[in-house]
Amino acid sequence: MNYVELNNGVKMPILGFGVFQISKEETKQAVLDAIQVGYRSIDTAQAYFNEEEVGQAIQECGIPREELFITTKVWIDNYGYERTIASVHESMKKLKIDYIDLILLHQPFSDYYGSYRALEDLYAQKKVRAIGVSNFYPDRLSDICAFNQVIPQVNQVEVNPFHQQVDAQSNMIKNNVQIEAWAPFGEGKNDIFTNETLETIAKKYGKSIAQVILRWLIQRNVVTLAKSVHKERMKENIDIFDFVLSDDDMHTISTLDTNESLFFNHQTPEAVDMFINLIHARKNQ
């Protein structure tokens, strides 16, 4: 496994295992399988409703805690200083760990300033090893970098061949923030797994399209997350450190960029309405 060094010196695996949209019933075994095939970074969130199952896998996997890198995220409904503090302690309880390697603010809405200051205090108390944000566009990321004591170590955003976030990554590099990708495969949208350009490159290296995408990301120094509930697919996704894409192939993939999200734009009123509805819906879960 390759690692990146965050702006505070903490080392983070460049490839991690994400549990978004994995059911509670499947999560524990999926995480155990992922760890067994070699993953050491596990990414969950309060809003995924599977922190407890991730915690069970952490407890049973047999790998020393210090060899694992555990990420979770604070959901919007827990924003505000006091609520964030309480929710992070609750996440640690569910995860059965006494510190979190990386804690992120999940969305750029509501009182994220109060929540970020809570993360700064938890960081100072060594309850978390690194702090950051998720889905923060360049303007909001620059804002939070400029007016807080601790620069975020990570910003987790959508990055895939159709939405490559080149300008956003440049802004993160400027601010010394590590970019991390969610939805590297775009959840299969735009027929990504049958794309002719990616298929041609994959055949050249004797790899799958998924492996080419993951390799393309890590060659851009993008920390990325791969998700699967199938052990063979997990093995395939982690088997990307034995080949290197050529400069020509990297350029060819760059031509696929549409510079638009495959999901939604956080900067629209409709996105705000969507997250308000999500907050209300998840209160009942």
Identify the CA nearest to 225 among candidates 34, 37, 53, 10. Answer: 34
Mean pLDDT of 4-20: 98
Asked if residues 180 and 156 have their Cβ atoms less than 8 Å apart, the reply is yes
Residue 224: partners with Cβ closer than 8 Å, 6 or more residues away: 14, 15, 16, 159, 180, 181, 184, 214, 217, 218
pLDDT confidence of residue 283: 64
Residues 72 and 204: their CA atoms lie apart, in Å, by 37
Q: Per the residue annotation, which of 3, 39, 48, 81 is the catalytic one?
A: 48
Asked if residues 278 and 49 have their Cβ atoms less than 8 Å apart, the reply is no
What is the reported pTM? 0.96
Tokens coding 46: 């309060």
**How close are the terminal C-alpha atoms of the chain, in Å?**
36
Residues 164 and 182: their CA atoms lie apart, in Å, by 11
48 among known catalytic residues: yes
- Which pLDDT band holds residue 115 (cuts at 50, 70, 90)? very high
Residues 200 and 246: their CA atoms lie apart, in Å, by 13
pLDDT confidence of residue 271: 83
Identify the CA nearest to 44 among candidates 95, 81, 10. Answer: 95
pLDDT in tens, 244-283: 999 999 999 999 999 999 998 888 888 888 888 877 776 6
- Which pLDDT band holds residue 285 (cuts at 50, 70, 90)? low
pLDDT confidence of residue 84: 98
Instruction: For domain 3-283, give the CATH number.
Output: 3.20.20.100
Q: What's the whole-number average pLDDT of the chain?
A: 96
- Which pLDDT band holds residue 192 (cuts at 50, 70, 90)? very high
Q: In this structure, how many other beta carbons lie within 10 angstroms of the beta carbon of residue 59?
A: 13
Does 106 show up as a binding residue in the annotation?
yes
Given a cut of 80, whether residue 4 has pLDDT beyond it is: yes
